[in-house]
Structure 1
């Protein structure tokens, strides 16, 4: 990469961050740009949680309607735009499960209960840490299975029940693995902040 050139991921993140700021200022064209850049990932999160294409589309529509109304709540100092939006989409899908708006084909609501809701501790840990990219270094320090489970739960939108099924282990075991992995992440992140 030439001196002074940004890597593509950083450039995309910066364009998305700028679009979020414009949206907060009322620029409707920014919403179109954000939608084009994020719809595939956010739809994937909603679909994995809800298990139904129509329900995922409805949840995704809710995400962008709410984003239009609440764009001013995004704080670029706390999270990258895609992490914030992914958390927003996951919470919107879980809300649909919990309020009974889902018509069918979803995972049972009991399986959604372990998912974080309303800025949970684990998501706050992951989102806050991303601002200095240390999270990726700390995740890379975990064993490969733990990396896979944490990435699946917090970056790809899988429920703990789905991860347990994929790994062919009981749900309680998966929760324990992820909890221990998050404890190791916290220790790593606290150590990096202290240094």
Structure 2
């Protein structure tokens, strides 16, 4: 029963769009109709600044971290733990509460990786921050960073290699429009 309930719960938690909630709390425009029109941390930063963006990032990260930690604490099999992480990301990308139109799941993915392999997760966040500080293009930082997750998992022989690979591929595929804009030279900076 828990093997089904926990991934479903992870999906529902992932479906809470923190960018929209934070923008409402800060009396900012809806991120789906401003800036890049993506309900994520970078767009919240564009329309509201550092503090709303930090709140969005933190909540999105918790959406990935908490369901995975819950599954681990309940001593669920690895497949259930992995499904909780993937379902949290899918909830963020295809949120039930917002017509299945969500963000890119980068911060949610960071939360999942932190729960599975905290050293890899912490390293990835630092890499993402470093790239963002240097070039200020969120999509490049995200694609590079999430692509490192399965490589690092493979190098340390983590049991979560396949989970991180699936999650990373999903997030990179979600960035296909960004990749197109990067190719055309029209991608927005943060």
Fold shared, TM-score > 0.5 on shorter chain: no
Indicate the TM-score class for this superposition, using the shorter chain for normalisation.
0.3 to 0.5
Normalised by the size of structure 1, how large is the TM-score?
0.34
Query: Which of 1 and 2 has greater Rg?
Result: 1
